[in-house]
Structure 1
């Protein structure tokens, strides 16, 4: 017997050689699994980043808005209805206890998007030209 408990002889291969082969196969399988899992985890990490808060002052009852996506551009705090938003709003973070509705047109007109309490939207997909506190109504 060898030190690993395997039989040594003309009709038996040493266990150490078998064990090395198994370890190599396990290492290869592990590398493949790691690369597959790494690829699968990456989109989930990116999706989570989209929900992370933007750099907004911690003021309760306001909505932080930016003229650019991802919190870029000019920052403007909203705490009352805005009939017209100069420069538009492309990203927003709601720190109010009420939802806010963002509209593509001035005077609360056109297609709209609702931002719920404690919700962050890094890209509204349009420059909002007006906004008001409350649910978006059809």
Structure 2
């Protein structure tokens, strides 16, 4: 793969009690959806948090060409978080809504940039991944 979206270079993670969850992981990923599968306690959540930049590896590097999102299994943490927030486009959508309501503030136009189709792109990605359609009336 010439320009990976995500690259792991000799990644390892050691727990505070000295147990090694994984070591010397080296892999490259493109932008296609990728799932982590394995038995409980093997380190899937820790690895996902490292990939998203929420946690640092014990050794090695995780190189990202863009944003990687981690969606926790603990849904209770997400009670008031919108799909747009999880996708990293909430600020753009908020600015777009203000413009549609009549705002002429330059800060709103700067926030939207070239993303005038952000709603459609988000919906497309959700549907492409089997998660749409989504009712956006709740934020």
**TM superposition score category, shorter chain reference:** under 0.3
Higher percent of residues as strand: 1
TM-score under structure 1 normalisation? 0.25
Bigger CA radius of gyration = 1
Higher percent of residues as helix: 2
TM-score under structure 2 normalisation? 0.25
